[in-house]
Amino acid sequence: EIVMTQSPATLSVSPGERATLSCRASQSVSSNLAWYQQIPGQAPRLLIYAASIRATGVPARFSGSGSGTEFTLTISSLQSEDFAVYHCQQYNNWPPGTFGQGTKVEIK
């Protein structure tokens, strides 16, 4: 089973600043990596797939990069609606299509 590790667990950022979230896989997942945003009380929402492709309707301030075992989600200028929990998921090798433990982005 592939283990996904996200860091940091919590990221404190001021509105308008840049946020950089990391996700590491225990073995290569190629580019089969997704990022999801989860606002409290809501279901997760797909943000990025194939490591770097924005899902439909996702603002351009969200970008993904990486391949193999190291991945990054960058939010270029945080807006109030971006404060949420972000989960990465590998879908290269399932079952299971493992998720990371999540990174909470909170207001500084």
Partner 1 sequence: EVQLVQSGAEVKKPGESLKISCKGSGYSFSSYWIGWVRQMPGKGLEWMGIIYPGDSDTRYSPSFQGQVTISADKSINTAYLQWNNLKASDTAMYYCARHWGPHDYVPFDPWGQGTLVTVSS
Contact positions vs partner 1 (CB under 8 A): 1, 32, 34, 36, 43-46, 49, 55, 87, 89, 91-92, 94-102
Q: Residue 45 is which amino acid?
A: R
Q: Which is nearer to partner 1, 83 or 99 (CB)?
A: 99
- Contact present, 69 and 24 (Cβ < 8 Å): yes
- Contact present, 24 and 103 (Cβ < 8 Å): no
State CA 16 to chain mean position distance.
19
Q: Which is nearer to partner 1, 49 or 62 (CB)?
A: 49
Q: How far is the CB of 14 from partner 1 (least distance, A)?
A: 25
Q: Which is nearer to partner 1, 84 or 87 (CB)?
A: 87
